[in-house]
Amino acid sequence: MCGITGHIDLKGGLATESLASMTKAIMHRGPDDHGLWVSPNGICVLGHARLSIVDLSPAGHQPMLDPITGNAIVFNGEIYNFQSLRQGCEALGDVFNSHTDTEVILMLYRRHGVNCLKFLRGMFALSIWDEQRQQIFLARDRVGKKPLNYALTKTGLVFCSELHPLSKHSSVDNGMDMEALELYLQCQFIPAPWTIYRGIRKLPPAHYAVYDRDGLRLEQYWELDYRDKIGISEADALDALEEKLTEAVRLRMNADVPLGALLSGGVDSSVVVALMAKLSKEPVRTFSIGFEEEVFNELPWAQQAASICGTQHHPEIVQGNVEHLLPILARHYGEPFADHSAIPSFIVSAAARRNVTVALNGDGGDELLGGYSRYSLSNRVIQLTKLIGGLIPPASLVDLSTKLIDAKTISQRIIRKLIMQYANPELRSINMYLSFWNDRERGELLSDYTSLVLQDWRQDCLKNACTYADNAIDRMLWLDSQTYLPGCLLVKMDIASMHCGLETRSPLLDQEVIEFCAKLPIRYKVKGGVGKYLLKKMAERYYPKEFVYRPKMGFGIPLEAWLRGPLRGMVEEVLRDPDAVFPLNNALLEQTLTDFYKGKGGLTFKLWCVFIFGVWNRVKDR
């Protein structure tokens, strides 16, 4: 796990010092080594900050060169099948100088060019300078575990693993993107390809880009399709899922440094820990955090899982005195990011890093097999959606459904229930964001600034969901795997872990596991109102039923209590600072503050969203 940077200037006007500074700014991602490389003709400079995980020797130094072609690579991530790929390369006569997965990618690129991506099973963001073609190749893994941000300049392209250092590069337009701000106020995160900066874009997951004198070309190299179903019994599906997950866990336990697991106490991470314990000769090291407020505290469940699996368990309690952490969070995320579970994610990552360098987690289970409450449909409703859900395409209903969020009349509420509950439940995966600033409120907050970006984004998402899935459950899974998972959850975990040089690995997001689950009939995903049905049946093999089927808690914090208590002073200071909240409507923010402290409901997440924007706005120029 590392950080990567690069600058291509086709006129040869490279600012090597600027790239060195940008690389230094991401050294927290790779504290073990760093390097710069300049192409022979001075057009390209690459930078790398290394977190040594496999082959800790100097042979793993990056940027790494292919001595035959002159190509150079910088790579962030892990390729879990690199050993078998290496054997294939050696059988063809390739000679290796290291034991790294990075060198395997270089060899595959030499033979296959951009098609090397189809062989890679893992998480990655990478860039290869092609010396013969005089072009740069950028790529990101299938689900978006590792970030890659880029900016087109007047004479070239600059890229970086993180946004904040990239926004400081002298060639980059770092003015605020109002479309991105509008998306943030709706979603709590900014989905790819947007960033908060006009001149910077995120390379979307499962995409690669090639930049040369003809410009920038983006291509998608993988798409998840839920339409191709397999006929399989429940017993066989259960055995197959366990076999595939066990293999995914085994591959992710390969490391030359201490390894453990983040154990929330939920089903997903508990299953991962159970499989690790089965595969490991030593007790697994596990790390959990909790809260004094019982309703948010999963530590007892994490302790139960740890006891059953015989782990070396390290629990911690989080207090509400996190004021000092928020500017650090804002700077690392590099743009407004309002998922409040970023706070405990930061803390548990730091706790784990004191003991291990690599930690497995349970990310992706909800998006794999339908674990959120919006998936909790009865068998009868699922059948009903098949009958009436196709009468009107969901994409044509999305604008109506967003307007009905403020339904006042009985008839409006009936229509809303018919659409959201019985006809097109997949709209829930779009409308869940309306608990933040909905369309009407956002217009007031942005002083009547309007655009079509959200309307187009929602329409496009639903059209694609309907293209690649034939039922409401799978459409929600497609939507969540393309929006919430890469835009929020994986961003949160990457930044939270990499701020302290911890590598996190997600077996549930293994490519083969994802593709297998996509092909499963929906009755193995949601059955009788129970989401993640098959995964929970598998969990029964390791844990008691009362552990497996307890109500889902999520990785939340006592946000409302913190906003009214230890964070109140900071919240009022930030939201009453016109410079910090520009260009938001000051009068509306003041009214929201007043209403919140008077006890009006439904404002907690709205307040947190604009508060975090203000915190980011204060630190963005530092």
User: What residue type is assigned to position 19 of the chain?
Assistant: L
Q: Do 524 and 237 form a contact (C-beta atoms < 8 A)?
A: yes
- What is the CATH classification number for the domain harbouring 190? 3.60.20.10
Q: Do 185 and 179 form a contact (C-beta atoms < 8 A)?
A: no
Same domain, 243 and 197: no
Classify strands 503-505 and 2-9 as parallel, antiparallel or unpaired: unpaired
CA distance 83 to 240: 24
Nearest to 518 by CA among 221, 228, 249, 272: 228
Same domain, 76 and 148: yes
Domain endpoint, select from 548, 576, 604: 548
Q: Is residue 363 part of a domain?
A: yes
Phi, psi of 424 (to 5 degrees): -135, 70
Same domain, 102 and 19: yes
Residue 292 has a pLDDT of: 73
User: What residue type is assigned to position 184 of the chain?
Assistant: Y
Strand partners, 565: none
Residue 370 has a pLDDT of: 94
Q: Is residue 605 part of a domain?
A: yes
CA distance 159 to 201: 9
Residue 291 has a pLDDT of: 81
Same domain, 206 and 247: no
Classify strands 201-202 and 149-152 as parallel, antiparallel or unpaired: antiparallel
CA distance 443 to 440: 5
Terminus-to-terminus CA distance in the chain, angstroms? 26
Total number of domains in the chain: 4
Per-residue pLDDT tens for 445-474?
Answer: 998 787 889 888 988 998 899 899 988 899
Domain endpoint, select from 220, 249, 279: 220
Per-residue pLDDT tens for 520-569?
Answer: 999 999 998 899 999 999 999 999 999 999 887 666 788 999 999 999 99
Active site residue 44: no
Residue 11 has a pLDDT of: 85
Same domain, 84 and 119: yes
pTM listed for this prediction: 0.94
What is the mean pLDDT of each successive set of 10 residues along the chain, which is 622 residues long? 92 83 95 94 95 86 96 97 96 93 97 97 98 97 98 96 96 96 94 98 98 97 96 97 98 93 95 98 94 77 96 88 93 96 93 96 95 87 76 70 71 76 78 77 86 88 91 93 96 96 97 97 93 97 96 78 94 96 96 95 94 97 86
The angle at the Cα of 356, spanning 355 to 358, to the nearest 5 degrees, equals 160
> Sign of the CA dihedral 90, 96, 98, 103?
negative
Same domain, 295 and 159: no
Q: Is residue 247 part of a domain?
A: yes
Q: Do 177 and 167 form a contact (C-beta atoms < 8 A)?
A: no
Residue 555 has a pLDDT of: 64
Same domain, 329 and 241: yes
Same domain, 457 and 437: yes
Q: Is residue 474 part of a domain?
A: no
Q: Where are the beta strands (DSSP E) in 455-566?
A: 503-505, 526-527, 530-531
Same domain, 42 and 188: yes
- Helix axes of 394-403 and 453-468: crossing angle, nearest 10 degrees: 140
Q: Do 548 and 274 form a contact (C-beta atoms < 8 A)?
A: no
Q: Which domain holds residue 436?
A: 380-446+453-468
Q: Is residue 170 part of a domain?
A: yes
Q: Environment class of residue 443 by beta-carbon count within 10 Å: exposed (0-12), middle (13-18) or buried (19+)?
A: middle
Q: Is residue 373 part of a domain?
A: no
Same domain, 102 and 188: yes
Q: Which of 2, 44, 488, 609 is catalytic?
A: 2
Same domain, 94 and 46: yes
Same domain, 102 and 159: yes
Q: Where are the beta strands (DSSP E) in 319-388?
A: 358-360
Q: Is residue 122 part of a domain?
A: yes
Residue 290 has a pLDDT of: 84
Q: Is residue 475 part of a domain?
A: no
Q: Spell out the alpha helix ranges (H) of 266-312.
A: 267-279, 299-309
- Helix axes of 178-187 and 604-619: crossing angle, nearest 10 degrees: 140
- What is the CATH classification number for the domain harbouring 258? 3.40.50.620
